Amino acid sequence: MAAASHQMMIKYGLGHEPTSAEVARWAAIVRQLISQGSEREAAGEHAAKQLFTDFRTRHFASQADTIDTLLRLAEQK
């Protein structure tokens, strides 16, 4: 799950690396939003805004993974 948390930090400009519990909660919210008809990237961003008070407080020069990759990484133990 470390890979997912690091990639989420980059993708959403977080000032911290999310915990395993935060990654799991983010994934659950994303899957729920997708099942309700949200577009994948929009669902990921909405979940991140909802969970992380430091959303978009940092800018990283590296490129982050797609939502599909982040969800897959979030499910790995």
Domain boundaries, the chain: 2-75
Two tokens, residue 30: 């994303």
Two tokens, residue 68: 């599909």
Given a cut of 90, whether residue 71 has pLDDT beyond it is no
In this prediction the pTM is 0.77
Report the distance separating Cα 55 and Cα 73, nearest Å: 20
**pLDDT of amino acid 2:** 63
Q: Rounded mean pLDDT of 13-17? A: 94
Given a cut of 60, whether residue 77 has pLDDT beyond it is no
SS3 64: coil
**CB neighbours of 6 closer than 8 A, spacing ≥ 6?**
17
**pLDDT of amino acid 41:** 93
**CB burial of residue 69 (10 Å; 0-12, 13-18, 19+):** middle
Q: Which residue has the higher pLDDT, 11 or 33?
A: 33
